[in-house]
Amino acid sequence: MKTLRLILGDQLNQSHSWFQQVRDDNHYVMMEIRPEATYVRHHIQKVAGFFAAMRRFARHLEEQGHSITYLAFDDESNRHDFEKNVRRLLEKTGARRFQYQLPDEFRLDEQFRGWTASLSIEAEAVDSEHFMTSRDELGRFFEGKKTYVMEPFYREIRRRFDLLMEGEKPRGGQWNYDAENRSALPEDTPLPETAAISHDLSDIVKMIRQEEIQTIGEINESDFRWPLCREEALFVLQHFLDHSLKNFGRYQDAMTSDEPFLFHSRLSFAFNLKMISPLEVVQKTINYWETEKQTIDIAQVEGFVRQIIGWREYMRGIYWATMPEFEQLNFFGHKRELPDWFWTGETKMQCLSQAIGQSLRQSYAHHIQRLMITGNFANLAGIHPDQVDEWYLGIYIDAIQWVEITNTRGMSQFADGGITATKPYVSSANYIRKMSNYCSSCDYDPRSRHGENACPFNSLYWAYFEKHRDKLEGNPRIGMAYHHLKRMDSEKKKKILDQAQTYLNRLESL
């Protein structure tokens, strides 16, 4: 019986069991469609990168002998709708069965469930064979609990897959080396080059412009530097292991002007399109470390492993345990509009100008820039989480809702009231000054809380805790902030709160 199999743009997993045998009775279909390219205004590198990687994958399957229809965006027969394209191909190929891999987005999962049920032939959803845990595993792991905590989930995965373990005990005697992974970058630290990958995507970019797909950000179309297939992703991984792993954990929270990548792997795009799998990356990393123990300490390796099998699997679990309610959560009732400069980077605040400018240029910012610069500011300023989500979902090359919204609405905005994180990740200028060199070239003074040129993060930080006292004061993890507020001189406190209000009234001109 002939089967039509749909492959989505983030399902480029060569190792999937579907592709291990070439069979005449399977026909594959991939498609570039307008709703996917426009459900949010994506970064130009994200749209071009997805299309280019999808085209590569289709070519690879063809070279392997698989039979495939690839519907490019400007293909005349493309109806720009999953259901319509599939129905036409079912008719054309005479397939009597339809299969698709489970989508990672709730939106698509619902859509597919709906229209596939109305097909007159058998329709089946199969696993995407990428993640280490199943969709509903986290929900079961924390059954009956109101909040989740990453650490026990992470330990369970370490045990199950025997990763960095010595019997029942963690290698090195500790599960977690987080405390050693918080150093600022000393000046003049030599930084690794990025892996030597370059693609000419001029044709795709031309098509995107001709088809009037609205995008944001910049692209150097003749020098696109993200991996587009499994081999390139493995090359980037090897480059990371050879040049960056030894400093990964130590400097993973550090930020420096005009240095977007530091010791980060830049693997998230390849991961999220499933070019590589989390288990293989973690195993390769641990094997590499086994041979390089003289130069790489365990804190660096554990830090990297935790991001992938800890945070990444955990966020996916939260997504499936809490959607669709999660995308409506707004714990603080934040309502303000995202300032326009989030789309240009034109603000006097050096940290935000750097993080946003870099995101527009590279479609990338590392975790702490996303969490403690842009996310921190949006939360302190009370921006509506829908607008914050829209920005993050559009701007980053790795942004797919399951991992974007849990990190943004959950971890960074605390709009979930503490499902994802045990406390809001907000800070005053003190943290930013310690972890970056941004403040040294800023118009604002990181040490002032009020008065001319006082850093906005300082007054907004105290006003935030004052405003959300009823929701946060009982949280034992932030007792210090309220202790501090209690002891603050009332005149000084008034000046700080007035300063915050002045800034909130003119967010656009900060």
Neighbours of 257 (CB within 10 A): 16
Tell me whether the omega of the peptide bond preceding residue 324 falls within 30 degrees of 0, making it cis.
yes
Number of residues that bind ligand FAD (CB under 6 A): 28
- Please list, residue by residue across 6-30, b when 16 or more beta carbons sit within 10 angstroms of its beta carbon and e when fewer do: bbbbbbbbbebebbeeeeeebbbbb
Among residues 18, 226, 341, 457, which is the contact residue for ligand SF4, using CB under 6 A?
A: 457
- Give 265 or 458: the residue with its C-beta nearer to ligand FAD: 265
Among residues 243, 284, 367, 467, which is the contact residue for ligand FAD, using CB under 6 A?
A: 367
- Give 12 or 349: the residue with its C-beta nearer to ligand SF4: 349
Question: Bridge-partner residues for 97, per DSSP?
Answer: 3, 122
- Give 425 or 482: the residue with its C-beta nearer to ligand FAD: 425
Separation of alpha carbons 256 and 446, rounded Å: 16
- Among 87-95, 258-266, 319-327, 354-362, the segment contacting ligand FAD (CB under 6 A): 258-266
Q: Which does 351 bind (CB under 5 to 8 A by kind): ligand FAD, ligand SF4, none?
A: ligand SF4
- Among 37-45, 255-263, 323-331, 345-353, the segment contacting ligand SF4 (CB under 6 A): 345-353
CB of 91 to ligand FAD, least distance (A): 37
CB of 499 closer than 8 Å to CB of 450: yes
- Give 4 or 315: the residue with its C-beta nearer to ligand FAD: 315
Among residues 234, 442, 472, 507, which is the contact residue for ligand SF4, using CB under 6 A?
A: 442
Separation of alpha carbons 57 and 250, rounded Å: 36
**Contacts with 269 (C-beta within 8 Å, 6 or more apart), sequence order:** 49, 226, 227, 397, 398
Q: Is 274 exposed, middle or buried (0-12, 13-18, 19+ CB in 10 A)?
A: buried
Count of all residues that appear for the chain in the document:
510
Separation of alpha carbons 14 and 441, rounded Å: 47
Is 274 one of the binding residues for ligand FAD (CB under 6 A)? Answer: no
- Give 243 or 367: the residue with its C-beta nearer to ligand SF4: 367
3 state SS of 6: strand
Is 439 one of the binding residues for ligand SF4 (CB under 6 A)? Answer: yes
Separation of alpha carbons 311 and 154, rounded Å: 8
CB of 57 to ligand FAD, least distance (A): 19
Between the CA atoms of 67, 73, 75 and 77, what dihedral angle is there, to the nearest 10 degrees? 80
Structure tokens at 387: 């607008």
- Give 268 or 379: the residue with its C-beta nearer to ligand SF4: 379
- Give 138 or 349: the residue with its C-beta nearer to ligand SF4: 349
CB of 449 to ligand SF4, least distance (A): 11
Is 381 one of the binding residues for ligand SF4 (CB under 6 A)? Answer: no
- Give 277 or 350: the residue with its C-beta nearer to ligand SF4: 350
Structure tokens at 324: 């669709």
CB of 445 closer than 8 Å to CB of 452: no
Is 351 one of the binding residues for ligand SF4 (CB under 6 A)? Answer: yes
Is 392 one of the binding residues for ligand FAD (CB under 6 A)? Answer: yes
CB of 401 to ligand FAD, least distance (A): 8
Contacting ligand FAD within 287-326 (CB under 6 A): 307-308, 311-312, 315
Instruction: Find tokens 């996917």 and name the residue.
Output: 36
Separation of alpha carbons 100 and 112, rounded Å: 9
Contacting ligand FAD within 62-121 (CB under 6 A): none
Among residues 370, 433, 449, 493, which is the contact residue for ligand FAD, using CB under 6 A?
A: 370
- Give 69 or 404: the residue with its C-beta nearer to ligand FAD: 404
CB of 259 to ligand SF4, least distance (A): 15
3 state SS of 3: strand
Considering only CA atoms, which of 164, 146, 144 is closest in space to residue 155?
A: 164
Is 266 one of the binding residues for ligand FAD (CB under 6 A)? Answer: yes
Question: Bridge-partner residues for 122, per DSSP?
Answer: 97
- Give 175 or 364: the residue with its C-beta nearer to ligand FAD: 364
Among residues 277, 398, 446, 481, which is the contact residue for ligand SF4, using CB under 6 A?
A: 446
3 state SS of 21: coil
Three state DSSP letters for 235-254: HHHHHHHHHCHHHHCCCCCC
Structure tokens at 370: 């996303």
Among residues 252, 277, 350, 406, which is the contact residue for ligand SF4, using CB under 6 A?
A: 350
User: Interface residues with ligand FAD (CB under 6 A)?
Assistant: 252, 264-268, 271-272, 307-308, 311-312, 315, 366-367, 370-371, 375, 392, 396, 398-399, 403-404, 407-408, 411-412
Binding site for ligand SF4 (CB under 6 A): 349-351, 429, 432-433, 438-439, 442, 444, 446, 455, 457
